[in-house]
A and B are shown apart, each in its own frame.
Chain A
Amino acid sequence: DAGVIQSPRHEVTEMGQEVTLRCKPISGHNSLFWYRQTMMRGLELLIYFNNNVPIDDSGMPEDRFSAKMPNASFSTLKIQPSEPRDSAVYFCASSLVEGSNQPQHFGDGTRLSIL
């Protein structure tokens, strides 16, 4: 089975540019998560979607960050304008959240460097 697929794997861009990260969750999963990983803060949950609807976006750092899930098989995380402090590894994860808990499965991440 295909796992969670993220693209691009690496992104290097100059500050001020728009960055779009993409994620395809595992087929059949109803929940999607965006995380950010840095050395200083570890793993931080940015936003959680259930059945394509954003449920909790309290982790989104500021208005420069936005996320969408137009359908069950695709999500984007956008940063506009990007800043050097946004440099991190961004992970997408998916799971089936229902009565019996199912674990989250992670993609390989997008390593983002803002110069």
Chain B
Amino acid sequence: GEDVEQSLFLSVREGDSSVINCTYTDSSSTYLYWYKQEPGAGLQLLTYIFSNMDMKQDQRLTVLLNKKDKHLSLRIADTQTGDSAIYFCAETPGAGSYQLTFGKGTKLSVIP
């Protein structure tokens, strides 16, 4: 079955770049997502990438996709204390599909 793996923790210093990694097993994954969850809040969609793209940039966020290795990463430039949260990687098999498989989340701690 589908599986999405992430490391559980990441600590970075304020101002440095953060890179959160994710691997998935479903070769038919079409859309891949990054969600952010702050304490006591819901999941906020950060960005998503279509599987025929290698990279997507949105302000401080850069998503890289290596479809051959089924590896997705989220880079946050100039990490701020407000970026401290849990980041979830998720994938869906295709257009029109409702199935969304989530990783267990990476807790990012930003050290002032």
Contact = CB atoms under 8 A, between A and B. Distances in A.
Contacts of B43: 91, 93, 106
Interface in A93-114: 93, 95, 97-101, 103-109, 111
A28 interface: no
Interface string B52-82: 0000000000000000000000000000000
Given A42-B104, A103-B33, A48 B98 contact: yes
Contact of A50 (B41, B95, B98): B98
Contacts, number: 53
Contact of B45 (A50, A91, A100, A103): A103
B30 to A, nearest CB: 7
B92 A101 contact: yes
Contacts of B35: 106
Interface residues of B, number: 24
Contact of B42 (A56, A95, A107): A107
Contacts of B40: 108, 111
Contacts of B98: 31, 33, 48, 50, 55-56, 95, 97
B96 A101 contact: yes
B53 to A, nearest CB: 13
Nearest to A50: B98
Interface of B: 30-31, 33, 35, 40-45, 48, 88, 92, 94-100, 102-105
11 contacts: A31-B98, A42-B105, A43-B88, A45-B100, A93-B43, A95-B98, A97-B96, A101-B30, A101-B96, A103-B33, A109-B41
